[in-house]
Amino acid sequence: MSKNESVTHETGSPTGTPSSPAAGSRIEVAGDEDWKSRVKAEAAALDQQFRSQPPGNPTAAPKPAGQANAETPSAATSEATAASDTPDSASRAFPDREPAREMPEPTFADLVALLSTQAMMFLGLIPNPATQKTVTQLPTARYFIDLISILEEKTAGRITKEESTILAETLHSLRMTFMQRSKQTG
């Protein structure tokens, strides 16, 4: 629908005739096509508000977004657009979020550790970081162990001796733990 279209709302009998006096009423639907610019203006106002607070006073009560400054909407919009082009604009708009950190170079050992951590979580050895609860789900644990096994199979002869040792020891340990857990629940 385009901006400010009218819609007739009809309810009632199966023949389509209105059953009540209000059934033929008109409903006004207003389109809101400038919501993006308003959101950017609000973000700019919040950004300005956090810039104006002293760095050592995080407990100061923030001003409501509409009272942050006396900018016109167009000025706030242009500032928000400019702020969104800077790499750390998200950290200014959301000061409670950590700035993005540069990740270390990924290694084969990291990949094995990632998969084995998932297997250990479903073996009940470590808690799920999202729920902080320890759960045993043997079919899911077996899936991650099988993924590591596929990794071992597909990389045979293509990895260093150290990487091969990490992979073999990890798989052996996980398989032994899986067998123990299977006997405990079976």
Average pLDDT along the chain, 186 residues, taken 10 residues at a time: 48 46 54 66 75 57 44 46 50 70 93 97 96 96 98 96 97 97 90
Q: What is the DSSP letter of 98?
A: P
Q: What is the pLDDT of residue 13?
A: 45
Beta-bridge partner residues of 29: 5
pLDDT in tens, 31-62: 555 666 777 777 777 777 767 766 555 444 44
Question: Residue ranges per domain, the chain?
Answer: 35-55+64-93, 108-185
Question: Which token pair is 19?
Answer: 């059953």
Beta-bridge partner residues of 8: 26
0.85 exceeded by pTM: no
Q: What is the pLDDT of residue 49?
A: 73
Question: Which token pair is 112?
Answer: 């094995």
Q: What is the pLDDT of residue 46?
A: 74
3 state DSSP class of 17: coil
Give yes or no for a contact between 49 and 62, defined as CB atoms under 8 angstroms apart: yes
Number of H helices, E strands in the chain: 6, 2
Strand runs (DSSP E) across the chain, as ranges?
5-8, 26-29
Residue with tokens 């052996």: 172
Give yes or no for a contact between 125 and 181, defined as CB atoms under 8 angstroms apart: no
CA distance 30 to 53: 38
Q: What is the pLDDT of residue 95?
A: 66
